[in-house]
Homo-oligomer: A and B are copies of this chain.
């Protein structure tokens, strides 16, 4: 593997020079990279993150089985180098369209489907030890944030506590954001934008001196990196607020341990100390939410079995107990069920109490 260079572009140029040197010596130009399949991913119990194993593979030009992938890798590396040089960012979809060209003298396209260029970008993360964001390639933009934080972003000074009902729209890449001032005791991340709007309207972040962040659905890499930067650079505890269902548990676990297909990025993205402050099976009794239990579908039950057997959950007694409760009552409960106790019950009672008493699942 090419070792990480100080300069992002440098790492890509280094890769090119290495291959050039091999060609000069009459050798078969070859890229070596770790295998990314599940068979090479394991859960590091000590550091509590998913990690890649030692299995490596080679990709060389003079090999019928490798040639196309080899070309794709170099094409995308070249696109990334240009992006970094021009100080521009492209989405995964953009990279696909830039790479989709006919190989001269043939009728073969370099890539036909976006999965091909996406795949090669993840390979390049391993080859260059740069993250996709450092390769200036972005994915979905999603989510909002408010709190007593001042940032500098593309020359603008932005106060996250002066953004009314909307908040700051989180960009797909947060690498270039500079934190100028961070005055908060913790970060509360929630999976639902509607809950975020509730907490923002109640000025929860002002009253409880915290930062509130939401996505809508998936936790994007931009949000995960934002959480990680606030955790690492500003030593803020991160609390995750989800529905009591298997998808909520999984969202939490991805933030905590990393995800399977991005195991090579776990170190950069995982936050082993994150705490779960969302709905639990115990809350259902404590806050009288039985009426609001939603019956599990077959799909849900299947997914509980799957997730509960993941390495990072299978010896976790706290979560196994929750999964057992889900199965026993064959139900799930949403955050918003708390609204049945009053519109601001979540911001005035539920969250302050849970956080004060440290009633976390961790």
Contacts and interface: CB of A to CB of B under 8 A. Distances in A.
Given A89-B197, A165-B173, A343 B94 contact: yes
14 contacts: A89-B197, A89-B198, A90-B343, A91-B194, A93-B334, A97-B340, A140-B193, A141-B144, A142-B216, A145-B169, A158-B166, A169-B169, A169-B170, A171-B197
A177 B97 CA distance: 39
Contacts of A202: 88
Contact of A197 (B145, B172, B340): B172
A213 to B, nearest CB: 11
A88 to B, nearest CB: 5
Interface stretch (A118-126, A149-157, A234-242, A259-267): A149-157
A342 B12 CA distance: 20
Given A141-B193, A153-B164, A343-B86, A336 B94 contact: yes
Interface string A163-202: 1111111111100110000000000000001101110011
Contacts of A173: 165
Contacts of A286: none
Contacts of A292: 97, 100
A332 to B, nearest CB: 14
A339 interface: yes
Interface in A112-146: 138, 140-145
A167 B167 CA distance: 9
B169 A291 contact: no
Interface residues of A, number: 60
B169 A89 contact: no
A306 to B, nearest CB: 27
A78 interface: no
Contact of A164 (B90, B142, B151): B151
Interface of A: 83, 86, 88-91, 93-94, 97-98, 100-102, 138, 140-145, 151-158, 162-173, 176-177, 193-194, 196-198, 201-202, 216, 291-292, 334, 336-340, 343-344
Contacts of A158: 162-164, 166
Contacts of A170: 166, 169
A216 B168 contact: no
Contacts of A338: 97
**Does more than half of chain A's interface fall in helix, strand or loop, or is it mixed?**
mixed
A88 B164 contact: no
A222 to B, nearest CB: 9
Nearest to A338: B97
Given A145-B169, A154-B164, A158-B166, 9 more contacts: A88-B201, A88-B343, A89-B201, A93-B339, A102-B291, A165-B176, A167-B171, A169-B169, A172-B193
Contact of A138 (B140, B194, B340): B194
Given A153-B164, A164-B177, A141 B197 contact: yes
Contacts of A153: 163-166
A339 B94 contact: yes
